[in-house]
Amino acid sequence: MDKNKKILVVGAGGFIGGHLVKKLLANGNQIVCCDIKPKEYWFQDFDETENHYAMDMKDILNCRKVSNGVNYVFNMACNMGGMGFIENNKAECMQSVLINTNLLIACNEYKIEKYFFSSSACAYNIDKQQQPFIEGLKEDDAYPANPEDGYGWEKLFSERMCRHFMEDCGIQVRIARYHNIYGPYGTYDGGREKAPAALCRKIIQAKKENAESIDVWGDGEQTRTFLFIDECIEGTLKLFESDYSEPMNIGSDEQVSINQMIDIIREIAEIEKLNKNYQLDKPKGVRGRSSNNELIKKVLNWSYQMSLKEGLTKTYKWIENEMSQKGLNLSKYTKS
């Protein structure tokens, strides 16, 4: 990554954004951070960065304020969470198009050198994700367009907005479609957590309380691929440094069912047996999703290295330590 650049990270208080800022600082850059969350809700906070807390980037005046004078912009901001949040807050998710649009306008006004947009595998056509253990989704599988309602449409629309600003205004854009990024310093409770963190939390709770079962959304046969956060950041910067301007998958192709992931975490927790209480009325998302990584291997000569079990081990230990340090009342998580 280039050194001695002034870089704006929008959504810096979030999970991926916080890890990105840490890496960019290590590379010797000057970082401007902003997030709609107040300071106390940032996952990672760094004294050596210029921090803008509780800043709503849906307001174009705020976008202009923080974009002036920077070289690069990373847009990591969106209103999202796990499947429960996405399926029940479609209008809120859609409003993130304002962040991307206003940032692009500001970038054009201030002649920003390069712009990164964090998209999602939710942009893919849902008709191609109706069975478990599907073939990996290639980048052109997003069309004909039929993404997940709300959040998926916001991502696909914003991808197109990036493309047209590049075509009409000359802004160099980079677009990553993330596939289920997980790891330490992320949400593991409260309703916005994703499957790996939620399941780690539930199994930690079950172990502590000697419970015989955990609640599982759906029948556990839905499949996904999951990429550890450190490798997500590495792939992101590889893409950003490249000359490739079309959307690109950044994810793992180690596809597992939710049931299989539960068994992996159960082994990490050293629990011999754990029953699953399937909740068929809960949000489940698409039936199967996997990342095809042919393009990133060809264009960037890059691939992830960490197995799911290794990444889940790191995540489990971090969540376990967090819950222990905070002295959380584990019983409050029973139904979430």
Is it true that the peptide bond before 144 is cis, omega within 30 degrees of 0? yes
| Structural element, H or E, at residue 199 | helix 195-209
Do residues 188 and 200 touch, judged by C-beta distance below 8 A?
yes
Do residues 41 and 17 touch, judged by C-beta distance below 8 A?
no
| C-alpha distance from residue 71 to each of 116, 203, 239, 243, 335 (Å) | 12, 44, 17, 16, 46
Handedness of CA 144, 145, 146, 148 (dihedral sign): positive
Residues in Cβ contact with 123 at an 8 Å cutoff, skipping those fewer than 6 apart:
142, 147, 148, 152, 155, 156, 159, 177, 247
Q: Quote the CA–CA distance of 299 and 302 in Å, as a whole number.
A: 8
- 181-182 vs 256-257, strand pairing mode: unpaired
Closest C-alpha among 228, 237, 123, 116 to residue 177 = 123
- 30-34 vs 6-10, strand pairing mode: parallel
Catalytic site includes residue 151: yes
Q: Which of 151, 178, 182, 333 is catalytic?
A: 151
DSSP string, 122-136: GGS-GGG-SSSSPPP
Q: Which residues are catalytic?
A: 151
